[in-house]
Structure 1
């Protein structure tokens, strides 16, 4: 089914029923001329055929908005059809088409089927005698319409580490869902009564058994995410699906390399959690990190790249001429070349209470899945770089107050000017400089934060609802230990950084020096935030990913 056909199938339905072919054609023509943009217009030449249409709508979970039915039909009168139809779809509007002699039947139908209107034939001109009536009825229907949600439902506590993990995973993988508060939502209480042994969060799918407190592997399986490679060997394997890895996968696949992209979580990396990236070239209105990731994945897969996630890579070894990647499940993948683009993860907040309240009031990164939970609350943002500024602006649209806690004495020192200006214009954002967190406290969830203003020497304990922290990153390179050279902070050394003595690494083959983004292992490259001395920007990550593919071609040509 094409995208346009899918969109049409999702529209609410107007169903016209008349046994006179000429009248039915006229009805269908007039309805489509006025309502085709917002409604799917269907027609049936008998009541029996119309009931079959209702069966099909029920199977496809589609909702009729209005029935326009002729009264005099040989197999079943219009009133009798409406009696059956409204028993299935009680909220649909009902209009009866009648001849002058049938007005008594129409008036009776007002009581029998709660008829909304009856129209005398002919209704010409429709702009005066048909459309105003239907406009009012459809407007009333649309105002009251509450479609039955038939997608994924997540039942859990609003502030819970397990619930947050599930909601965040579904959101980052583009799986629509509805969250139901396990404490107050009537639908949640019904679902929990149906599954009394279930743990929270409970994830209910349109089909199949629900999942009780699932991990990401279980969710990935139910969502149909690929986690197993289709072949044992690839020309290039990219580890990490952030901006650098996604860009590399697009260029590698488009240039004909068999390409595998692996990610331990969800495509987008740290940038994928950004609520709005406003300084990325070509998007003057900005775009979210999630949108950028989805577009890049679509582009890479269109060129033939294969994406597996969530898949953990736990080891790398040389088996010349191949490089062998070991996955967490014990399986191995062979590659001619490897690109390390695993990025960084936010540093943990090393204060009392931080570990206890992670996911229960304390969050690392933007965690935009919590936006609705923050409505009318007080949000604290820890950090003074761009990611913290983007988060502050995003949450200011939901929270009553946003407080940005910065250890330094200037916001401009670590944040782009456009973000600084936006923060200062926002009436509900407060910036507190020279301030750091000493402790977090509370009961089942985070309730208090202890702060120290270094400049004033003042310590305070304040109520807190939500804390989002952005305090620098640590590279995801534990799996490279002892194989690829890194600096003292764990960032991967590449190119000139490997030649501090003027000579390539001892293990390097004679005759050439490492390419610009090549690591201490020939044929293994690094790009993006994981690389030592990289520029921590989305655009530079994309650029390095593209550059890495050009260098991979040079390596394959010259060894």
Structure 2
């Protein structure tokens, strides 16, 4: 496909030559740097590149250009190179205009001129933008191939696992892609390494879905309807711990768990994260996190997770993927995390950072269609498959709002179903303003989904007005649910005190009358310590936590601080 393009635009010939030289010296090995001296010339270049199907990775534009400002150019450039990252060069006097452009046109970053020295002021910013672009636009779609059915819950689970673990793959639908049939025929005689369907996967050729999805991994046997653990092992992801004993075992790889691992490892503690699905937790599925400090443009949950995992790895903490924890066993001064399917990890201290899951909707038809048009939560990569269709989203918190905006980029219509009288009490104002202004988002307040219909997959939903009782049947193949918070902590057992909803009680809350007698020691519990000494809780799973990414990160950091004090007792 050739080198991707970096396009620079500045009407000042001296400045234009300087930035072109700096970018070419630093990135010329991997990117083609093209210099334009006006907005009009830049648009001509972009048109030519689009016609040749040549990719544009980054557009760097000066704001103060005669005839067409940098912001005006970047707005028009979205039609020629919709995936390109944007960097605005501006003067201090134009800062307010640049910040406004973050909301108005999705500007990725603005940089005050001059940018000297470039190694300190320009290249780190460009590095981040190009890394993000590369992640969203890999050179190849991946050597992993997945053959399955569009409405198969197993196929959805495999695709979600691959996407959330940043494994590129090619998808082949057995009803739409001729290549899918050829791959099924080729794999028909091979013994699958994953799942229980075995050679029955060849039945897919006859239109059945037994043995699907079929996952073809380079240098591995075909996997038929694999579990996530089978898939992770085939991809050579780490699924087992390497040490017999750790200072800290962190259960859950969301923002709280990742932060705890970074702080633990950077401060000299041996640490391991055990994550059942993929790094990032619920936050990792978000299409955009816009209120996290230090990211004025916002960032995707996937991006946040990817950056955090890189930090975890850099400091030397381990990560065990695709493994759930079934219980905690205390063995004198050591705690053992008992893994699903066998095995255990021992540590002197444990942090429970398993977060929360979306609650299930209780209405006729929904359970039967879960995974086949009815989904709980969504990743950013789910939206493109809904191109031109009607999508229904249930929920009124920020996660639902971000999902609605992401799906609106592809869907013909997005219907946001809200039980309450408005969004104001539960959603941030910046999201509400964008939802209200979106022409293809319809908000239905005082409403709820009361039934789902469909044979092999979701075909329609019944939505009722909670005041009048009137019902409306809406044709749709897609329902995404973002309601409530369920911690799912039964696996902790009776030794760890929880409230009636399952949230873990920690610190001074253990001294409340409702939990009298649950703390077994003469000393007071440390902050974030549970009723099982040496076991701590951080993030959304903890009672009275704030349920925000920033607070979860703070919890993870604070947990390591108190664990140092706990370990000092020994």
- TM-score normalised by structure 2 residue count: 0.71
Asked if the contact 1:494/1:519 (under 8 Å) is kept, the reply is: yes
- Structure 2 Cα separation of the partners of residues 503 and 438 of structure 1: 38
Taking a change above 3 Å as real, the CA distance of residues 376 and 317 of structure 1, as seen in their structure-2 partners, is: same
Q: Quick one: which of 517, 520, 528 aligns to 1:508?
A: 520
**TM superposition shift of 1:507:** 4.7
Q: Does 1:539 align with 2:550?
A: yes
Q: Quick one: which of 209, 213, 218 aligns to 2:230?
A: 218
Aligned positions of 1:224-243 closer than 5 A? 224-243=236-255
Q: Quick one: which of 410, 415, 423 aligns to 1:411?
A: 423
Q: Does 1:162 align with 2:173?
A: no
Match of 1:329 in 2: 341
Match of 2:268 in 1: 256
**TM superposition shift of 1:37:** 5.1
Q: Quick one: which of 500, 523, 533 aligns to 1:522?
A: 533
**For each residue in 1:373-417, what CA deviation from the matched residue of structure 2 results, as whole angstroms up to 9, or x when unmatched?**
100000000011111001001100010100000000011111011
**TM superposition shift of 1:193:** 2.5
- Structure 2 Cα separation of the partners of residues 506 and 348 of structure 1: 31
Secondary structure of the residue aligned to 1:399 is: coil
Match of 1:558 in 2: 569
Asked if the contact 1:396/1:429 (under 8 Å) is kept, the reply is: yes
Secondary structure of the residue aligned to 1:175 is: coil
Secondary structure of the residue aligned to 1:462 is: strand
Taking a change above 3 Å as real, the CA distance of residues 149 and 419 of structure 1, as seen in their structure-2 partners, is: closer
Taking a change above 3 Å as real, the CA distance of residues 149 and 271 of structure 1, as seen in their structure-2 partners, is: closer
Secondary structure of the residue aligned to 1:474 is: coil
**TM superposition shift of 1:149:** 6.2
Asked if the contact 1:504/1:514 (under 8 Å) is kept, the reply is: no
Asked if the contact 1:274/1:288 (under 8 Å) is kept, the reply is: yes
Q: Quick one: which of 173, 177, 189 aligns to 1:181?
A: 173
- Structure 2 Cα separation of the partners of residues 412 and 148 of structure 1: 43
Match of 1:442 in 2: 454
Q: Does 1:369 align with 2:381?
A: yes
**For each residue in 1:163-213, what CA deviation from the matched residue of structure 2 results, as whole angstroms up to 9, or x when unmatched?**
101100000010001111211212222212323452321112233332122
Asked if the contact 2:461/2:476 (under 8 Å) is kept, the reply is: yes
Match of 1:118 in 2: none
* Structure 2 residues without counterparts, runs of 5 or longer: 5-23, 33-138, 189-198, 202-210
Secondary structure of the residue aligned to 1:539 is: helix
Q: Quick one: which of 202, 207, 212 aligns to 2:219?
A: 207
Which stretch shifts more, 212-221 or 236-245? 212-221
Q: Quick one: which of 317, 326, 334 aligns to 1:305?
A: 317
Taking a change above 3 Å as real, the CA distance of residues 504 and 319 of structure 1, as seen in their structure-2 partners, is: farther
Secondary structure of the residue aligned to 2:367 is: coil
Aligned positions of 1:261-300 closer than 5 A? 261-300=273-312
Match of 1:468 in 2: 480
Which stretch shifts more, 545-554 or 369-378? 369-378
Asked if the contact 1:505/1:520 (under 8 Å) is kept, the reply is: no
Which stretch shifts more, 313-322 or 160-169? 313-322
Aligned positions of 1:339-378 closer than 5 A? 339-378=351-390
- Structure 1 Cα separation of the partners of residues 230 and 2 of structure 2: 29
Taking a change above 3 Å as real, the CA distance of residues 245 and 149 of structure 1, as seen in their structure-2 partners, is: closer
Secondary structure of the residue aligned to 1:317 is: strand
**For each residue in 1:189-246, what CA deviation from the matched residue of structure 2 results, as whole angstroms up to 9, or x when unmatched?**
2212323452321112233332122111111011111111111111111100100000
**TM superposition shift of 1:533:** 0.7
- Structure 2 Cα separation of the partners of residues 489 and 294 of structure 1: 31
- Structure 2 Cα separation of the partners of residues 384 and 36 of structure 1: 47
* Structure 1 residues without counterparts, runs of 5 or longer: 1-8, 13-31, 40-146
**TM superposition shift of 1:323:** 1.4
Taking a change above 3 Å as real, the CA distance of residues 442 and 502 of structure 1, as seen in their structure-2 partners, is: closer
- Structure 1 Cα separation of the partners of residues 301 and 449 of structure 2: 28
Count of aligned pairs between the two proteins? 425
Match of 1:17 in 2: none
Asked if the contact 2:141/2:169 (under 8 Å) is kept, the reply is: no
Match of 1:494 in 2: 506
Secondary structure of the residue aligned to 2:462 is: strand
Greater C-alpha radius of gyration: 1
**For each residue in 1:93-139, what CA deviation from the matched residue of structure 2 results, as whole angstroms up to 9, or x when unmatched?**
xxxxxxxxxxxxxxxxxxxxxxxxxxxxxxxxxxxxxxxxxxxxxxx
Asked if the contact 1:504/1:513 (under 8 Å) is kept, the reply is: no
Q: Does 1:451 align with 2:463?
A: yes
- TM-score normalised by structure 1 residue count: 0.73
Match of 2:44 in 1: none
- Structure 2 Cα separation of the partners of residues 291 and 398 of structure 1: 21
Taking a change above 3 Å as real, the CA distance of residues 339 and 401 of structure 1, as seen in their structure-2 partners, is: same
**For each residue in 1:495-541, what CA deviation from the matched residue of structure 2 results, as whole angstroms up to 9, or x when unmatched?**
1110014997455222x201121111111110100000100000000
- Structure 2 Cα separation of the partners of residues 324 and 466 of structure 1: 41
- Structure 1 Cα separation of the partners of residues 398 and 374 of structure 2: 19
- Structure 2 Cα separation of the partners of residues 443 and 363 of structure 1: 16
Structure 1 residue ranges, 4+ long, deviating more than 3 angstroms after superposition:
9-12, 35-39, 147-150, 501-507
